[in-house]
Amino acid sequence: RKYSGRLKICARCLVFEPSIEFINIPVLKFHFKYTDQIREVVDTLNQVNIFSNEEGKNHFLDVVCRRVIEMKANNVNYPYKHREIADPSLQHHRFNPDYIPVSKFLPLINELYTLFKLPIKQQQFRLKELIFDLEKRSQFELQWLNGLSEKIICECRVEEISRYCSIPGKLVITNYSLFFQYFNNIETKPYAKYEIGLIVKMIKRRHML
């Protein structure tokens, strides 16, 4: 069966979040601990994907996972359900990307999958390096500016502090606005925008999480 949705790449797992029309389907978590193989495969289909390299063939991400973690079926919060898959033929989970070819993001997944097998200290050190490199390459989209008169004055890495967590991102200050660009995609929009003329007060504070 086919379901549309979003595939999220995390440090130690892949997460498939179904679209709103499939709200009865649980969010699926494929932890690297239970994953035996991640690869690109080619299948012949009736409908050709825009990223197909050969006529009539689609390129899929194939994740071979013997245990799937299920959560939030019917949008209800409940304890995570670990579903064992004994039949090898049912351990294959395939994903067909709509907007980017598999070859663009498969190297990142494979690197994270390889990191997971390292000793914990090496794993954490290398993961920090990888995250820092990805954040450094993150570019601010100039299309978010209000015309040619708006100019970027300053850019720096910051964290948005909430009561329970901190969210990494990039602070961009222009002559009109203050932007906070999220490094992850947990929000519905890729950035938050605050017009400088509407900011009432700015306070310097210490924080500890």
Structural domain spans, the chain: 5-134, 140-198
Q: Does 53 have pLDDT greater than 70?
A: no
Q: Does 38 have pLDDT greater than 70?
A: yes
pLDDT at res. 136: 84
Type of residue numbered 190: P
16 neighbors 6 (Cβ within 8 angstroms): yes
d(C-alpha 142, C-alpha 149), whole Å: 12
The DSSP output letter for 53 is S
- Confidence band of 51 (pLDDT split at 50, 70, 90): very low
169 neighbors 208 (Cβ within 8 angstroms): no
- Confidence band of 56 (pLDDT split at 50, 70, 90): very low
Q: Does 195 have pLDDT greater than 80?
A: yes
Q: Which residue has the higher pLDDT, 208 or 203?
A: 203
Q: Which residue has the higher pLDDT, 83 or 52?
A: 83
pLDDT digits (tens, 9 = 90+) for 76-122: 988 999 999 999 989 999 999 988 899 999 999 999 999 998 898 99
d(C-alpha 125, C-alpha 137), whole Å: 19
d(C-alpha 163, C-alpha 33), whole Å: 31
d(C-alpha 102, C-alpha 39), whole Å: 9
**Torsion over CA: 196, 197, 202, 207 (sign):** negative
Percent of the chain scoring above 90 in pLDDT: 57
E strands along the chain, which residues? 5-9, 13-18, 27-31, 35-44, 57-65, 67-71, 81-84, 92-95, 152-161, 166-174, 177-182, 191-195
Tabulate helix, strand, coil % of the chain (nearest 5): 25, 35, 40
| Average of per-residue pLDDT values in the chain | 88
pLDDT digits (tens, 9 = 90+) for 2-17: 899 999 998 899 999 9
